[in-house]
Structure 1
Amino acid sequence: MTSKYAKWHHPYKPSQKFQKKVAYFSMEFGIDQGLKIYSGGLGFLAGSHMKAAHDLKQNLIGIGMLWKYGYYDQYRNPDQTLLPAFIEKNYCYLEDTGIELQVRIRNNHAVKVGVLVLKPEIFNTAPIYLLTTDVDGNDHLSRTITNRLYDPNDETRIAQSIILGVGGAKLVEILGGADIYHLNEGHALPAFYYLRNRGVSKEQMVFTTHTPEKGGHEERFGPMLNDFGFFERRLNDDELERETVSGNQLNYTIAALRMVKRANAVSKLHSKVARHMYEGVSGIAGVIPITNSQHQGFWQDSKLGQAWKKNNPVAFRKRKLELKEELFGEVLNQTGKIFDPRALTIVWARRFAEYKRADLLLYDLQRFEQIISNSSYPVQIIWAGKPYPGDHGAIGIFNRLVHYTRHKANLAVLTGYEIALSRLLKEGSDIWLNTPRITREASGTSGMTAAMNGSVNLSTRDGWIPEFIRNGKNGFVLPALDHNLPHGEQDYKDSQNLYKILEDKVMPIYYDKPGNWSEIVFNGIEGVVPQFTSARMATEYYEKLYR
């Protein structure tokens, strides 16, 4: 291989603490607004990990995919409802490595795979290699494999996993091999089969699982995967039976847990949930907690950070008002509504999924409308987030909010929820509202970056929140419920508790006790930094998962 990139290379000498060579496979990376190869939290997490690896001089590289159309661009139909758009992306700063791989998919069909690199100096990350099938010499169908992140077509999704897994593993071989192969979720599972077939031991393979949701644990018909070349070599009937579970289904997560020495969940609560999910499944690795975190240098507004470090609430409030003005400029641009920077501003912003309950505030409309029409304690609320374009239930919730808020001057639904808007919302909000049903949210890292910017968490007791929250001291938490209750009962009780906390705690403290509010804000930042910053997380991966 003549390419100058055909070797393991960093622009720095790896730190003595982080000498092990780690190849980190992820379907998405949220690095910068200008690199649209992510959909949401999983990508934000992977991006923060790459930034921390660079800061700490870790001997780690990222392996991902160059999505031609990204996830999707979020626009509106004429009636303001959700309109997904797929627009070709071009990135002149990515450099072609000159490396070309060949991966065989279905009936031994050879697919060419090109490799581009995001050099560390562009966005201050560890080197990230991005695979694409949109290269000369491939037929039309092969070129479309890397078109869309989380393509809705099952066969395309299988092909994407093979390209990322087998293609990524072949790339790492060209670069000189790795000491540790880390799969961030099960999307790149074929990498483990490829590596196992070549004698790589399970001590070198580690795995991170990210969600308790069934939809986040791909499960597909084993014989079909065998035909596709998912296992890199064709398995016989006995081998296939050993890999699959009931009904010849291959569960990607169970398969990964059986192939690794170590695995982690992404919060302490999630590790308990994950272990419970796989009770009785034989031969799987133990699942330890390494709580997700986010990159402070990227996400925290520097002036807010300085005011917090100097314990200067006056300077902090002044900067917060400036940031609220910036956010409200976007509200005005999108909705024609003028928000007041001195009014309490609540934001619900994350991926739209049914269990996250974006519309929980609307459960009792009479009660909710009393809150939003309270002239003594004015409230403004913003919703934002991307439903999966094939999730019609989540799209229905998004569109319901659009219709409900259209003529309400203090309520807004924003589109274009990507890194830039996420930053605006975290910097410009007073309350960061998080409403998943308990045990359903693995981590929920948006609340960490919100807290870094003085947005106070108001949340159910799920994901990372139990490790952070001191109710009334650094945020507000709804009373814990029995998660086995029927959904309707959970939603009713959580909504009533949410209204009560807003009316009895949040609104009076914000308006009547500004000194107390500032204390809660500063306690929130102190609780997040450094415990929930990615430097801690990236260090823990070396100490606990890669050891």
Structure 2
Amino acid sequence: MRAGISVEKVEQVVFVSMEIHLGGLPTYAGGLGLLAGDLLQSAADLGYPMIGVTLLHDRGYVWHEVRGGEVVDHDEPYDPLDHHERLDLKLRIRLESGLLHLGVWRHVIRGRRGEVPVYLLDANVPENPPELRGLTSRVYIERNEDERVLKELALSLGALELVERLGILVKKFHVNESHAGFLAVELLKRYGRIESVKPKLVFTTHTPLPHGHEEYPYELVEKYYDVPVEIKEMSPDRLRLTLVLMKLAGYYNCVSKKFHMVHRAMFPGFEPDYITNGVHHTRWVEPRIAALYDEWLEGWREEPGRLIHIVSIPPARAEDVKLRCKRELVEYVNSRAHVNRSFEVGGFIAAARRRITGYKRVTLVLRRQELLEELGKRYDLQIIFSGTVHPRDASGREELERILDAVTTYAHVRIAFLGRRGESLEKLLAAGSDLWLHTPRPPFEACGTSWMRAALNMTPTLASRDGGVLEGVVDGHNGWLFGRNIMSPTEPYDESRDEEEFYVKLREALELYARDRRRYTLISMYAAATIGSYFNSHRALGEYIARAYSS
């Protein structure tokens, strides 16, 4: 495609996100990027006019190798020529520090009723000085705060110039988290009035934690970008991009009902909507389970609501397919994971697959070794930890050290760590496990989606009372819940009480699996039916179309 070629003159929603999961590529860090990719895949399936804009990220995020008991971090390089189309187009972003040049790649998401192009911006072009060429290469990994500001300017201003150069008719700009907040600032500079920006701008906030609420001192930002006085009046002292977006967006939302309540308490006077996240219902189902659904649930691929009829599948068939998935997972773990002992198909497998950071508490299950060892002896408990840690996340490093320590110290519980990522691994873990562990510290989980992917594969979740699980998991019916439903980050929180109730619920699940396997299978099927049929990206996109994009 050459610059200047005409594009279809249909108004598009321009979805701008720092990370977007594209097939098997490492162009994402965690749930934010997975959700972005799923939402755009649903747009392609439903034929809704959208485009995505992100950065190239041709060195990915990070994966971990355990070598001699030590963790070695690796990047995730891929060749964009193998996966994208390079456009004959160069963007020129005028900054206070000089010109930033961006190449453009195009990746097409193909769906049942259409295609959604995703444009990936690339600073590794000869027009840029060497120190800028790596700007767009890794997800959230920068050398310093200056580079982070430049990266966000590249995404925000690059998205605006891209749509202008391609002649795209913009219905809405949808800013996915505050990383692209400079787009809103630039719209105000161009339009001159807040009232002119609001009809064009949608904003989604995904976390109550600081990493999703970008803020910078003005003296740093203005080395590269001239901030208008209206923005400084909106956000005195520092540039708080979340605050700016909340004030400039005509529509903004949180991503679960509980997070909506937490966010409103954090930002008094603001009244966001909420649209609970959902995952793509065909992308995340393991092939053998998908084949079972094909046999029994006609039309489920087109209409995820039909997953409610999973309960009509004979439980023996579900058990057989789950067992085949479990065998493959055990073989994979025994050949690829860092383990204390070989896993066995006859044991009970609990899995925790998350981005590893402190508030997600993936190691909550390890807090009481003596009790866990007793459960291991009685129920043949096996635990898989899988995830990655940002290189500068100290709390995540501590969690990872606890996992590796458990591999060397536990005698009666089999422990495994998988430091790789990928769509196929995610599906195998979700399908081959017996129980999913989702244990964030309330109220810091905005929604969470790994439990949704597990449910699609007939794996129930044991979850803390936080985020979206409060809308989907019914304790003892399609999963298990533990702990208090804390609403304020400053409210006193008794971790020991959480631990006690967690182990009570874990024992309950283990005992049911050992005593009444058929009842456990039915709970697994109820999880798939009740969660898969609603917590999917087709439903979420439909809500965005009706409430955010049509206004």
Which residue number in structure 2 is paired with residue 133 of structure 1?
Answer: 123
- Partner Cα distance (2:439, 2:238) in 1: 33
SS at match of 2:222: helix
TM normalised by structure 1 equals 0.90
What letter is aligned with 1:465?
A: V
Which residue number in structure 1 is paired with residue 380 of structure 2?
Answer: 378
Residues 304, 221 of structure 1: alpha-carbon distance in 2 compared, 3 angstrom cutoff? farther
Structure 2 residue 220 is matched with structure 1 residue 224: yes
Residues 164-211 of structure 1: per-residue CA shift (max 9 Å, x gap): 000111101123230100000011111112222222531110100000
SS at match of 2:313: coil
The alpha carbon displacement at 1:240 in A equals 5.3
Which residue number in structure 2 is paired with residue 251 of structure 1?
Answer: 240
Structure 2 residue 535 is matched with structure 1 residue 545: no
Structure 2 residue aligned with 1:159, among 128, 133, 150?
150
The alpha carbon displacement at 1:325 in A equals 1.4
Query: 5 Å matches for 1:206-285?
Result: 206-229=202-225, 233-235=226-228, 238-239=229-230, 241-245=232-236, 248-280=237-269
Which residue number in structure 2 is paired with residue 15 of structure 1?
Answer: none
Which residue number in structure 2 is paired with residue 16 of structure 1?
Answer: none
Which residue number in structure 1 is paired with residue 301 of structure 2?
Answer: none
What letter is aligned with 1:388?
A: H
Residues 406, 545 of structure 1: alpha-carbon distance in 2 compared, 3 angstrom cutoff? same
Residues 195, 486 of structure 1: alpha-carbon distance in 2 compared, 3 angstrom cutoff? closer
SS at match of 1:406: helix
The alpha carbon displacement at 1:102 in A equals 0.3
Residues 207, 481 of structure 1: alpha-carbon distance in 2 compared, 3 angstrom cutoff? closer
Which residue number in structure 1 is paired with residue 61 of structure 2?
Answer: 71
- Partner Cα distance (2:354, 2:509) in 1: 21
Moved more, 488-497 or 292-301: 488-497
The alpha carbon displacement at 1:513 in A equals 1.1
- Partner Cα distance (1:52, 1:435) in 2: 28
Which residue number in structure 2 is paired with residue 438 of structure 1?
Answer: 442
SS at match of 1:119: strand
Which residue number in structure 2 is paired with residue 13 of structure 1?
Answer: none
Residues 214, 345 of structure 1: alpha-carbon distance in 2 compared, 3 angstrom cutoff? same
Tell me, yes or no, if the aligned pair for 1:379 and 1:410 is still in contact at 8 Å. Answer: yes
- Partner Cα distance (1:106, 1:189) in 2: 18
Residues 436-469 of structure 1: per-residue CA shift (max 9 Å, x gap): 1121100101100100101111101111111112
Residues 304, 499 of structure 1: alpha-carbon distance in 2 compared, 3 angstrom cutoff? farther
Moved more, 177-186 or 83-92: 83-92
Percent identity between matched residues is: 28
What letter is aligned with 1:424?
A: L
Which residue number in structure 1 is paired with residue 300 of structure 2?
Answer: none
What letter is aligned with 1:381?
A: I
The alpha carbon displacement at 1:228 in A equals 1.3
Which residue number in structure 2 is paired with residue 3 of structure 1?
Answer: 2
Residues 289, 487 of structure 1: alpha-carbon distance in 2 compared, 3 angstrom cutoff? closer
Structure 2 residue aligned with 1:289, among 255, 274, 294?
274
SS at match of 1:296: coil
Residues 201-247 of structure 1: per-residue CA shift (max 9 Å, x gap): 31110100000112321111023212211xxx453xx54531423xx
Tell me, yes or no, if the aligned pair for 2:462 and 2:506 is still in contact at 8 Å. Answer: no
Residues 327, 545 of structure 1: alpha-carbon distance in 2 compared, 3 angstrom cutoff? same
Tell me, yes or no, if the aligned pair for 2:3 and 2:89 is still in contact at 8 Å. Answer: no
Tell me, yes or no, if the aligned pair for 1:483 and 1:490 is still in contact at 8 Å. Answer: no
Which residue number in structure 1 is paired with residue 367 of structure 2?
Answer: 363
Which residue number in structure 1 is paired with residue 109 of structure 2?
Answer: 120
The alpha carbon displacement at 1:76 in A equals 2.5
Residues 415, 172 of structure 1: alpha-carbon distance in 2 compared, 3 angstrom cutoff? same
Gaps of 5+ in 2: 297-309
Residues 36-72 of structure 1: per-residue CA shift (max 9 Å, x gap): 1101101110010011000000010001110131112
Which residue number in structure 1 is paired with residue 306 of structure 2?
Answer: none
Residues 254-280 of structure 1: per-residue CA shift (max 9 Å, x gap): 111111111010001111111111015
What is the CA RMSD across the aligned residues, in angstroms? 2.2
What letter is aligned with 1:464?
A: G
Residues 209, 8 of structure 1: alpha-carbon distance in 2 compared, 3 angstrom cutoff? farther
Which residue number in structure 1 is paired with residue 52 of structure 2?
Answer: 62
Residues 69-128 of structure 1: per-residue CA shift (max 9 Å, x gap): 11123222432x332223532131300111111012342x10111110002349986210
Residues 455, 210 of structure 1: alpha-carbon distance in 2 compared, 3 angstrom cutoff? same
TM normalised by structure 2 equals 0.90
Residues 391, 47 of structure 1: alpha-carbon distance in 2 compared, 3 angstrom cutoff? same
SS at match of 2:282: helix
Query: 5 Å matches for 1:339-350?
Result: 339-350=343-354
- Partner Cα distance (1:205, 1:399) in 2: 42
What letter is aligned with 1:467?
A: E
Structure 2 residue aligned with 1:25, among 16, 26, 34?
16
Count of residues in correspondence between the two structures = 521
Which residue number in structure 2 is paired with residue 535 of structure 1?
Answer: 538
Which residue number in structure 1 is paired with residue 498 of structure 2?
Answer: 494
- Partner Cα distance (1:485, 1:9) in 2: 47
- Partner Cα distance (2:391, 2:489) in 1: 29
SS at match of 2:211: helix
The alpha carbon displacement at 1:487 in A equals 9.0
Residues 484, 99 of structure 1: alpha-carbon distance in 2 compared, 3 angstrom cutoff? closer
What letter is aligned with 1:84?
A: D
SS at match of 1:126: strand
What letter is aligned with 1:151?
A: I
Which residue number in structure 2 is paired with residue 303 of structure 1?
Answer: 291
What letter is aligned with 1:24?
A: F
